[in-house]
Structure 1
Amino acid sequence: MDGQRGSAEERSIADLARRLVAADTGGWTPDGVRALATELGWAWDGTPDEPVLVTGRPSGDARLRPVGRYEERFVGRESYVELAVPVAVAAPDAAAQAAAFRAAREELTTALGKPSIMGSHGDLGPFYDSGPVWGAPFVRWRGRPDTLELRAGTSGPELVLQPTGPAENWFWRQGVGEEHSISGFFGSNRDQANTGLGFPGGWTARSWETVVRSLDEFLGALPAETTALGIRIGMPFYGRTGRGAPILFDVTCGDRLSIGCFAPDGADPAAHGWGTVTDHPGTASIWDDDDPVWRVDAGGPGEPKGRALAEMLVATARAAGVSGPSDLIVGGEAEHVDGYHVTYYGLGLPTG
């Protein structure tokens, strides 16, 4: 390392990632982090509460997050809980942000291998931060003592180096059962790096209004997040009624979100906003022309109207005889995504 800030080496996302993974953070103490800054050739700036490392990168300088009142109960001896380095700047719209994240993820996957963890922070990021409006996808290369994460930032994707213990301690402790205590979704694969990984408990929606809110947040951001992560989610919903638990909906999302409705006899899906393949011809590539008859093409990144979709699904479920949120069940098939086992914490719905 030549110590020259803004060198060509630092401008490559893959090379920056390799250097961060190999760095000695010194236990995230003040002396350790200052030594890290020197090792990276970055100058110390900012204030004690908001320290900045001047990188010379065109995408911006790095930010250190000191331990404060929101972080202190989750740490051991660490004085900092993350170093965030912007790696790209994109236009603010969801499509541009998702494309920038995807490009960075693909470069990093080539350099570091497939991430051991992926998901979405939802509207509740690490240590109670709120994520970007368009979506909050992340991928993570878990390690000990430190983990590297690619995270959606305010202006574009960021590489975040963090001590593994505090970040995972925070996440695990959110499983308190209160509504919306955890948001987003979390997927891990069988990578040996995930040995000893803990999983929090979830929460249960207690009202239809809670389900509307959780589906709003999930569906509105879903195509941007699946595009960014390079995954495709297939999620059936079953409705427990007096006639068993037949499939009611089929949510499928890659670069676009499509939802099919398997309405029971006597129902009137059109009254709740459903159309047919004639109304949504793009869905012909998802399902046969007449199975399901009722469907909607909700669009690509930034296009779904989350609240309207959520209200449509809830109204249809209730009209079909689903008496409460505990009887709206996410199919277990949805838990298997591209080699990851995924838990949809933000929905607050049972899985079976």
Structure 2
Amino acid sequence: MNAQQGSADEQTLADLARRLLAVDTGGWSPEGVRTMADGLGWPRGGTADRPVLVTGRSAGDARLRPVGRYEERYVSGESYVELAVPVATAAPDAAAQAAAFHAAKEELTEALGRPSVMGSHGETGPFYGSGPLWGAPFLRWRGSTDTLELRAGKAGPELVLQPTAPAEDWFWRQGHGEEHAISGFFGSNSDPANAGLGRPGGWTARSWETVTRSLGDFLEALPAETAALGIRIGMPVYGRSGRGAPLLFDVTCDDRLSIGCFAPYGVDAASLGWGTVAEHPSTASVWHDGDPVWRVDAGGPGEPRGRALAEMLVATARAAGVSEPADLLVGGEAEDVDDYHVKYYGLGLPTG
């Protein structure tokens, strides 16, 4: 990891997190934020449109997000919806960014306990914000009034203190069913902190082009995001056809993405781009018994070619007799990740 942790007299990440959780945000009103800044010992700076708190930390100043046109529908008296504090910087490549995020996650988990919520924002974060191209993982220590989030920032991980209700209200309202309304994936555990946490409805892909785009986005960032979060995803994908709904693919990812294909008789998997264990030897540790015969090693953080992989999976599904996107099913087993229940909103595929 090429992360810059700051000077020796700089607060540790754990201490910073504890200070943010203990601070009085005063309802995120202008007066409350001034009191919060004074309590943190951080002078105000920046401009009216882009206010900051001057932290003196090597990773940069903290950014306040005022309520504007994209936030106003979701607030109840708040004038600000988050304070984002950069905590480390790393080289721009996906592997370095994922490693910096994971290091922050490990320190915070030791200090605060397991986060109650985890996932990926995907292409669209809270209030329609965009994240870095390598991936958009996040972890949350949810509170009834305020929530602390570890988020992937533009240059490295950031600690984000936010009023709980506005961001959750924004997320809930995206469940209107339009294609690509929600991106990424979202998981929560049985922590009492999640009492009252709502989950929006998802959306359903209506064309193979939509599936190709959403699946490509998901696969391209997946190894970087799972490495950052320290999780392993095992996702069986079934294809409903005249032969029932047999297993078609096995998507497995921790810090490396491997995909197995159970091509039915009559489908020329090799011509569609699939290889064998001889061509992808690293997959031998994923599937020990040589089944599936057809597989691909898509690589680690920053390496998968998402669009090409998605095109290969869609072509294979259609060759196997899957006639429409609604007949491509994510196995329910994929929803159990460690002790989190995960919904893969960004795929737009049903779970069966």
TM-score (norm 2): 0.97
How far apart are residue 7 of structure 1 and its match? 8.7
**Does 1:282 find its partner at 2:277?**
no
- Are the structure 2 counterparts of residues 145 and 8 from structure 1 closer, same or farther at C-alpha, using a change threshold of 3 Å? farther
**Does 1:294 find its partner at 2:294?**
yes
The amino acid of 1:65's aligned partner reads R
Aligned to 1:320: 320
Q: Counterparts of 2:288 and 2:281 in 1: how far apart (Å)?
A: 11
Aligned residue for 2:97, secondary structure, equals helix
Aligned to 1:148: 148
Which deviations, in whole Å up to 9, do the C-alpha atoms of 1:42-74 show, x marking residues without a partner?
010011111010000001000000000000000
Aligned to 1:219: 219
Aligned to 2:29: 29
Contact 1:274 1:295 in 2 (8 A): yes
Q: Counterparts of 2:290 and 2:17 in 1: how far apart (Å)?
A: 48
The amino acid of 2:339's aligned partner reads G
Q: Counterparts of 1:214 and 1:70 in 2: how far apart (Å)?
A: 24
Contact 1:187 1:343 in 2 (8 A): yes
Q: Counterparts of 1:132 and 1:173 in 2: how far apart (Å)?
A: 23
Counterparts of residues 73-92 of structure 1 (less than 5 Å): 73-92=73-92
Aligned to 1:187: 187
How far apart are residue 288 of structure 1 and its match? 2.6
Q: Counterparts of 1:152 and 1:299 in 2: how far apart (Å)?
A: 21
Q: Counterparts of 1:50 and 1:60 in 2: how far apart (Å)?
A: 14
TM-score (norm 1): 0.97
Which deviations, in whole Å up to 9, do the C-alpha atoms of 1:215-239 show, x marking residues without a partner?
0100000000000000000000000
**Does 1:176 find its partner at 2:176?**
yes
Q: Counterparts of 1:266 and 1:16 in 2: how far apart (Å)?
A: 59
**Does 1:162 find its partner at 2:162?**
yes
How far apart are residue 282 of structure 1 and its match? 0.1
Aligned to 2:123: 123
Aligned residue for 2:252, secondary structure, equals strand
Q: Counterparts of 1:263 and 1:216 in 2: how far apart (Å)?
A: 20
The amino acid of 2:26's aligned partner reads G
How far apart are residue 257 of structure 1 and its match? 0.1
Which runs of 5 or more residues in structure 2 are unaligned? 1-5
Aligned to 1:246: 246
Runs of 4+ in 1 over 3 A off after TM superposition: 6-10
The amino acid of 2:223's aligned partner reads P
Contact 2:118 2:140 in 1 (8 A): yes
- Are the structure 2 counterparts of residues 47 and 196 from structure 1 closer, same or farther at C-alpha, using a change threshold of 3 Å? same
How far apart are residue 290 of structure 1 and its match? 2.3
Alignment RMSD (CA, Å) = 1.0
Which deviations, in whole Å up to 9, do the C-alpha atoms of 1:281-308 show, x marking residues without a partner?
0000000352000000000000000000
Contact 1:9 1:16 in 2 (8 A): no
Aligned residue for 2:276, secondary structure, equals coil
Aligned residue for 2:118, secondary structure, equals strand
Aligned to 1:19: 19
Which runs of 5 or more residues in structure 1 are unaligned? 1-5
Q: Counterparts of 1:339 and 1:109 in 2: how far apart (Å)?
A: 15
Aligned to 2:139: 139
Aligned to 1:264: 264
Q: Counterparts of 2:266 and 2:289 in 1: how far apart (Å)?
A: 21
Aligned residue for 1:11, secondary structure, equals coil
Contact 1:235 1:250 in 2 (8 A): yes
Aligned to 2:337: 337
Contact 2:7 2:58 in 1 (8 A): no
Which deviations, in whole Å up to 9, do the C-alpha atoms of 1:246-280 show, x marking residues without a partner?
00000000010000000001110011100000000
How far apart are residue 8 of structure 1 and its match? 6.1
Contact 1:9 1:15 in 2 (8 A): no
The amino acid of 2:318's aligned partner reads R
